[in-house]
Structure 1
Amino acid sequence: MPEAQTTAIPQHKPRIEVVRVASEHAEALADFFQIIWSDKASAASIRAARAAAAAANPVEPGTDIPAFAYLSDGKVLGYISTIPTRLWNGVTEHAGHWFIGFMVLPEFRGGPVGYAVLKEAMRQLGLIASMAVALPPRRLFKALGFTDYGAIANYLTLIRPARVFRALDLEALSISSVPGWAVRVFRFAQRSGLAAAAGLLGNGALIVWRTAAGGRTKALLREGMPTGPEMDGLWNRARSALAGAPVRDGAYLVWRYGASHGEKYVPIAARDATELSGIAIVRRPRDEGDPRLRGIKVATLSDILFVPDRRDVALGLLAAAERVARSMGADALLCTASHPAIASLLPRRAYLKLPGNVHFLVRDPKDEHAMPRTLADWWLTRGDANSDEV
């Protein structure tokens, strides 16, 4: 009998597209967002959010916010969005974008998806900055020509030491620099009540330290968002002493921290007579907190701006931020800052320096915009690139 012949089944080759997101991609994006971020995402909510973001665009009002997606047969496998910004290089302001929300479906990570979506975004955007924590995206950014300036230092000050000492779980935090014997001693102190006593002593010590370190300023400190023109004037005065910074003018600060965010942020303004001399923004702690912190609530000093030689204004704003954090029910206040004008003052307010986990990266093709060379040249805070949720 003749041998039976087998017919090869042709392999399906998916249709691959890497696109700038538009309204027609909303359905596919909704499926992706439901997997990655929220099961409540829908095409309608995505279209509405994109329209609202365009209307509120702080750099070009009414202009679409760029986002990019990798599609396979119409299904989104990878995605990245942006925030329009302007970057100051010590001489002039240059239009650019922050990268945010870079995600790839778990089963496609380590392949070409992330690389392809980043390449298309870079092709269209030019000057780009990013705040990244995880090592894989940082490696990918660097492979694509980003400069990694390093991790921005974190600083933490205690607002309610007794509560922190009672609740802190050193084992759950897995801090490698803390020896095992110290963890055991701390746990014993918590069980015996010594930690609470130490916390009360610590609170007294903090009051003495902060009082001795000063923090008085002639500036008048009040909660509330200043006017746009006031913040424009402050930014123009501050930037002349800075080698690099994301622009912090009135349009940006109102867009980033204003009334559209509800009660999430509390602005603090410092004024000399009628002139704005500084501003700080405190973010409320999350109600649930980090499970590793066992209910400890951490507020965030999301942003701060002052003329660098006005140390009195800076110390006054830091003291006011601590008072606001306490009124929010926070047990500690986190500050992330790169510039020495901020970092050098934090020990005077009893901030402890912690290892940084957020890296700052910039892609400036052909060094066209002459950006600063070192991290300390930049004025960066936790609120940049929406990185202030802790």
Structure 2
Amino acid sequence: MSTVAAPEHPWLLPATLRGRPEPARRAPRRSVRDWIVDTHCFLFAVGFLVLAFGDWQEGTESFVLRSPFDPALMAVDVATAVPACLALWLRRRWPIGVALALMPLGLFSACGAIALLISIFTVAVHRPLLPAALITAWHVVAGAFYCYLRPDPDLSYWGNVALTTVLITTVLAWGMFVRARRQLVLSLRDRAERAEAEQQLRISQARHLERTRIAREMHDVLAHRISLLSLHAGALEFRPDAPPAEVAQAAGVIRASAHQALQDLREVIGVLREEPGDRPDRPQPTLAELPALIEECREAGMRISEQITVTAASTVPESVGRTAYRIVQEGLTNARKHAVGAAVTLTVSGAPDDGLTVEIGNRNPLGKPPAPEIPGTGTGLIGLAERVSLIGGTLDHGRGAGDDFTLSAWLPWPA
């Protein structure tokens, strides 16, 4: 799963995305973009200070300095505006602290006006609405006092107050817009990263399910091969005086079965080690392979009486045919394990719309089995029930009249 990188400005995220309380934030290292922005803000504030000081020295009015001021007040203005401009370098780390420190300048400072507006903008961008609104309200009140202390010769007092209020609130609104936009971008980025992580998780789960499906298919095949191998080995054990031709034939079948079982086991291990897409899936058996399965079991010594009456067998859905094959395979394997030497009856019938019926029965063997019972995991019938339920069928098994064991299944077969 991919890891989600920390955002460049974590204080912009809502509390649910930050995962920690608001006071515990820590400012990140200033990026190249931050250095460029901070440098421009500092130079803009210093440039305004220089223009205002130059107008005062010349005694002229401009858009910077609207009227001549008292020399003592102007000296205090310049003396306080210089550290205000320098304080802008600290605005990212302590936006509220810098804004609070510069609040008294709003009462009288003309040279530090840009620094004051930048501090308001910084608080609006990096902090919630409440502290930004309180600081802005103070500057609106301070602006009214400033308009009284330094009146504009071209505007009335209330006109000057209204203009100052509009300017300050515009800076606040601009900062809130930037903050909202950044929060939206970070939220969309977080959603994209979460969606990518969830997609990777879904892919991993799909791969796991595919591996499990293939391994389950191979388990059924492997159990069938090993049961055949055990049956032939048991025949050799109890017929040591058999003719050499029969011994050679049985040994050949054992060798072939062992080789095939080893090949199947190798494929199972490969499925568990590799990705499902690394190799093509082996063809899965269907209803057409039932005669070959029955003949293989007969060669192993099983007595099987089959009756296969399927109408339009070529139209059987692949999933239904594959499930029917696995039911027959599991039924014959169980009969070979638990009812050695007993006759087995197999019935497969069905038609479109009527469904496909599979029934396997064997009598309980009399007496003690000639060889130790082949061990099993006990999960074969559980796996079959799951297969059948996935395609909407039913599966029943158990002992009936005459102590016969019957395995029957009905599988849907739409027309």
Higher RCO (CA < 8 A, seq sep 6+): 1
TM range (shorter): under 0.3
More strand by share: 1
More helix by share: 2
TM-score normalised over the length of structure 1: 0.22
TM-score normalised over the length of structure 2: 0.21
